[in-house]
């Protein structure tokens, strides 16, 4: 299997690509704190560096995985035989002008929400407690209270898999519930322009504080997790109820495999008790799905994405059923 070494990388990366690390533990780069190492790990600071990385790996056919803060990802225990590009703190500038908010892809969503509140703008109240980057949020059309960031998008700037830059309108992104047309295309979100209407900053603040308080009461926050593991849709709510409730009703709260446990506080969270492995989590996902299928006759699908050693990203239940 492909294993890239320092010397080999220096021979092929002739252009400026930002800081490069080798054999970087991925457990440092996701909120579950799980996963093996990435052969190569790069954190670009500019769009030019992103373009240079894409062109370099294309020349060598090296698998590429783009991540933000890894708050929706489960990395394999054997890591990634390729290059992980993190669009994070180093690409996180924000500019606000009137109702328009421009944020680089690595911007931390709670910080972005706070900046809009301080500027007397609304629209991101539901995002205040989401611990990811705006690039990841746009990719997933993430949000809360049944809303998605796509509602506020004016346009998204991406680098495609040939290293070319494009500006995509809201329509072109085709946002729907926890989905965007960017998924699976290899496009890298380098910045986002949002429309945030004027509002009274005090009302926005009140709403954000209420959201944070509700999250603190509802969700586990001491142990590592990846937020909601299973997808929750309006149709599901209408027919069988939210995933947390049906997992709890199936008697699965506290179920443990290795060091992975169904949270006793919120059953749609799987927490890492210490040294959980991806295998523990996948086995638990499979067991939860089998029990819910048997007791309620419903197929739970994952919101969390699994990342394979060759750099493919797909809903974690597909991996759980496949190979544990």
Query: Nearest distance from residue 317's CB to ligand FAD, in Å?
Result: 15
What is the DSSP code string of 32-47? T----EEEEEEE-SSH
Query: Nearest distance from residue 57's CB to ligand FAD, in Å?
Result: 15
Determine the Cα–Cα distance for residues 186 and 1; give it in Å rounded to an integer: 22
Residue 130 contacts ligand FAD per CB under 6 A: yes
Out of 225, 232, 263, 268, point to the residue binding ligand FAD (CB under 6 A): 225
Residue 144 contacts ligand FAD per CB under 6 A: yes
What is the DSSP code string of 131-182? -SBHHHHHHHT--STT--GGGGEEEEEEE-TTS-EEEEEHHHHT-BTTB-TT
Query: Nearest distance from residue 6's CB to ligand FAD, in Å?
Result: 25
Query: Nearest distance from residue 5's CB to ligand FAD, in Å?
Result: 25
Determine the Cα–Cα distance for residues 227 and 220; give it in Å rounded to an integer: 9
Site string for ligand FAD, 80-119 (x = CB under 6 A): -------x-----------------x--------------
Q: Which is nearer to ligand FAD, 83 or 137 (CB)?
A: 137
Q: What are phi and psi of 284, to 5 degrees?
A: -65, -45
Answer positive or negative: Cα dihedral of 215, 271, 72, 51: positive
Out of 136, 150, 243, 309, point to the residue binding ligand FAD (CB under 6 A): 136
Out of 25, 31, 160, 287, point to the residue binding ligand FAD (CB under 6 A): 31
Residue 231 contacts ligand FAD per CB under 6 A: no
Residue 140 contacts ligand FAD per CB under 6 A: yes
Residue 132 contacts ligand FAD per CB under 6 A: yes
Contact 51, 85 (CB under 8 A): no
Site string for ligand FAD, 172-211 (x = CB under 6 A): ----------------xx----------------------
Residue 305 contacts ligand FAD per CB under 6 A: yes
Q: How far is CA 316 from the centre of its chain?
A: 13
> How many Cα atoms within 13 Å fall on the side-chain side of residue 10?
5
Residue 247 contacts ligand FAD per CB under 6 A: no
Contact 66, 139 (CB under 8 A): no
Query: Nearest distance from residue 143's CB to ligand FAD, in Å?
Result: 5
Q: Which of 299, 298, 291 is nearest to 251 (CA)?
A: 291
Query: Nearest distance from residue 294's CB to ligand FAD, in Å?
Result: 28
Residue with tokens 């990435």: 38
Active site (catalytic) residues: 178, 228, 303
User: Residue 183's CB: how many other CB atoms inside 10 A?
Assistant: 15
Residue 66 contacts ligand FAD per CB under 6 A: yes
Helix 278-296 and helix 316-323, axial crossing angle in degrees, nearest 10: 90
Residues in the chain: 324
Q: Which is nearer to ligand FAD, 141 or 250 (CB)?
A: 141
Q: Which residues bind ligand FAD (CB under 6 A)?
A: 31, 66-73, 87, 105, 130-133, 135-137, 139-140, 142-144, 188-189, 219, 225-227, 305, 313
């Amino acid at each position: 299997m492909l294993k890239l070494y320092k010397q080999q990388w220096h021979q092929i990366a002739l252009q400026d690509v930002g800081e490069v690390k080798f054999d970087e533990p991925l457990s440092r780069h996701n909120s579950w704190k799980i996963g093996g190492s990435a052969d190569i790990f790069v954190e670009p600071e500019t769009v030019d560096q992103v373009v240079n990385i894409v062109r370099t790996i294309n020349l060598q056919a090296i698998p590429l995985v783009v991540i933000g803060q890894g708050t929706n990802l489960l990395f394999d225990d054997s890591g990634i035989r390729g290059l992980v590009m993190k669009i994070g703190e180093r690409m996180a500038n924000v500019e606000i002008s009137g109702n328009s908010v421009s944020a680089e892809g690595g911007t931390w969503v709670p910080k972005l929400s706070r900046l809009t509140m301080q500027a007397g703008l609304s629209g991101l109240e539901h995002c205040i407690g989401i611990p990811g980057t705006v690039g990841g949020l746009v990719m997933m059309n993430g949000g809360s209270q049944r809303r998605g960031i796509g509602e506020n998008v004016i346009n998204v700037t991406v680098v495609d898999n040939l290293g070319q830059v494009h500006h995509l309108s809201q329509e072109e992104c085709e946002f729907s519930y926890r989905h965007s047309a960017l998924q699976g295309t290899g496009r890298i979100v380098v910045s986002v322009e949002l429309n945030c209407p004027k509002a009274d900053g005090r009302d926005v603040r009140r709403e954000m504080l209420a959201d944070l308080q509700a999250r603190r009461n509802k969700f586990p926050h001491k142990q590592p997790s990846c937020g909601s593991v299973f997808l929750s849709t309006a149709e599901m709510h209408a027919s069988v109820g939210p995933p947390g409730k049906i997992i709890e009703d199936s008697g699965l709260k506290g179920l443990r495999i290795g060091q992975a446990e169904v949270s006793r506080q919120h059953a749609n969270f799987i927490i890492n008790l210490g040294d959980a492995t991806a295998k523990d989590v996948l086995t638990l996902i499979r067991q939860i799905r089998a029990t819910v299928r048997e007791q309620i006759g419903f197929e739970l699908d994952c919101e969390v994405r699994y990342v394979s050693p060759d750099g493919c990203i797909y809903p974690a239940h597909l991996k759980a059923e496949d190979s544990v």
